[in-house]
Amino acid sequence: MRILIVGAGGVGDAIAKIAATRSFYEAVVVTDYDVSRAERTVAWIAQKHGADVAKRFGTGRIDASDPDAVAAVARANRITHVMNAVEPKFVPAVFAGALAAGADYLDMAMTLSEPHPTDPYTVTGVKLGDDQFAQAGDWEAQGRLALVGMGVEPGLSDVFARYAADHLFDTIDELGVRDGANLVVRDDAGAEIFAPSFSIWTTLEECLNPPVIWERDTGWTTTAPFSEPEVFEFPEGIGAVECVNVEHEEVLLMPRWLDAKRVTFKYGLGAEFIGVLQTISDLGLASTTPIRVRSAAGPVEVAPRDVVAAALPDPASLGPRMEGKTCAGTYVTGTGKDGAPKAVYLYHVSDNAVTMRDFESQCVVWQTALGPVIALEMLALGSWTGTGVLGPEAFDAVPFLELMAKPTAEGGYGQAWGLSDR
């Protein structure tokens, strides 16, 4: 297996660092539009793990907006698997470039949605991933696999859903992904500051678009942003967090393979975070449509959302200022294998102190990076196989979760996952 990582930002950097602890591949090529970021990642690997490990890693420049450029880099490096670690707006180009190069493909976020033009809070328009699923036949015809939505959420949350459907439940009422954290970011004086722990570009896309809900009787429908608030109790000291509906890939993925009456995604944002997002939206700063702006060098065209992203700290740089834990998981309700009512929460917790100590990666981006590396190893081992455009729930969850939880001394990843009855 020869892996191309497209993007050496926070998550791409963490994918490479986690991969450096494994041996299932022949080579990894870390690329970015700014090649110095890729070089920084590989330099860290060399310092942490030594020259013998680092020699399996190369670097290069890539233009993720150009399918031909992606294909050229993949061909030049004899790539077998393209790992997309850039913003979702680049998914179409990287997706097309991988297929053109004859490589398999993985991503953590799917092609973007477009709200319904007249009834956005009731009816879906273009859904997340629609463009990729429309091309499934092309991937099948070439015998290639596109594994989409394989991060943590989506990704690990979908693996949990598949495990619950196969091993814990006879019938499922709801698959409800619930994400919460007690993370705090502080400035030099120790005061708490507003600094999203993940890409603000992606955060705005997820949180301000109409959330999608799936129900067996009605299919996919939409609702208003931040709707249906509920207080959810998260494990390992995180505690009670108010969660609200947010647009997310799991709701578009799970019903394609798993039988449930309802599928939802709720994110623990908090009143302050919601207020900031609403203000950004009200001011028109969430728009991706370029506007004309006067500057010292003359008028320029710039997308307001890109300005917001540029004004905030790079999420990859927040680790030293961050403290706390983040939890990703899937809450499942229904009837258990014994015929009795059942409710469980399957989850994984990432502690910023631990991920910074071991990988110098903040916990949110590190947790997002864990799933793709395990998935690549599943493919390398032959534990997961397939062609076309598939989500994580299309594969057996057991070998993934076993390898994830197995201690590192025994060849695993040493990442325990939890299952709590509710």
pLDDT by residue for the chain (422 residues), tens only, comes to 999 999 999 999 999 999 999 999 999 999 999 999 999 999 999 999 999 999 999 999 999 999 999 999 999 999 999 999 999 999 999 999 999 999 999 999 999 999 999 999 999 999 999 999 999 999 999 999 999 999 999 999 999 999 999 999 999 999 999 999 999 888 888 888 777 776 777 788 888 899 999 999 999 999 999 999 999 999 999 999 999 999 999 999 999 999 999 999 999 987 788 888 889 888 888 888 899 888 777 888 888 888 888 888 777 777 788 899 999 999 999 999 999 999 999 999 999 999 999 999 999 999 999 999 999 999 999 999 999 999 999 999 999 999 999 999 999 999 999 999 99
pLDDT of residue 296: 77
β-strand partners of 240: 233
- pLDDT tens for 287-313 read 888 998 887 778 888 888 888 888 887
Burial (CB < 10 A; 0-12, 13-18, 19+), residue 32, is buried
* pLDDT score, position 16: 98
Burial of 210 (0-12, 13-18, 19+ CB in 10 A): buried
Residue 331: predicted pLDDT: 98
User: Looking at residue 253, what is its pLDDT?
Assistant: 98
Strand spans (E) along 280-390: 291-293, 300-302, 322-323, 325-336, 341-351, 388-390
Q: Phi/psi at 278 (nearest 5 deg)?
A: -65, -35
Structural domains in the chain, CATH included, are: 2-151+366-421 (3.40.50.720), 156-364 (3.30.360.10)
Distances in Å between the Cα of 286 and the Cα atoms of 8, 204, 222, 290 are 24, 7, 20, 11
Q: How many CA atoms lie within 13 A of 242 on its CB side?
A: 10
Return the axis-axis angle of helices 156-167 and 250-257, rounded to nearest 10°: 30
> Which residue has tokens 């399957």?
346
Distance CA 10, CA 198 (A): 9
The pLDDT assigned to 183 comes to: 92
Residue 364's H or E segment, with its range, is helix 363-381
Pairing label, strands 262-267, 169-181? parallel
Per-residue pLDDT, 155: 98
Q: What are all long-range contacts of 394-397, with beta carbons under 8 Å and residues at least 24 apart? A: 394/257, 395/159, 395/162, 396/162, 396/166, 397/159, 397/160, 397/162, 397/163, 397/166
Q: Give the tens place of pLDDT for each residue, 221-268.
A: 999 999 999 999 999 999 999 999 999 999 999 999 999 999 999 999
pLDDT at position 204 is 82
CA atoms within 13 A on the CB side of 202: 22
Q: What is the pTM of this model?
A: 0.93
Which residues on neighbouring strands pair with residue 322, listed in sequence order? 185
pLDDT at 189: 83
pLDDT computed for residue 259 by the predictor? 97
Residues found in the chain = 422
Residue among 18, 414, 345, 378 at smallest CA distance from 160: 345
- Enumerate residues 6+ apart whose C-beta is below 8 A from 191: none
E strand residue ranges, 67-218 = 81-84, 104-106, 145-147, 169-181, 184-185, 212-215
Q: Are 37 and 9 in contact (CB under 8 A)?
A: yes
Q: For residue 85, give the amino acid letter.
A: A
Residue where the block lists tokens 């619930």: 178
Instruction: Decide if 312 contacts 320 (C-beta within 8 A).
Output: no
Cα→Cα distances 336→27, 264, 316, 344, 398, Å: 44, 20, 41, 10, 18
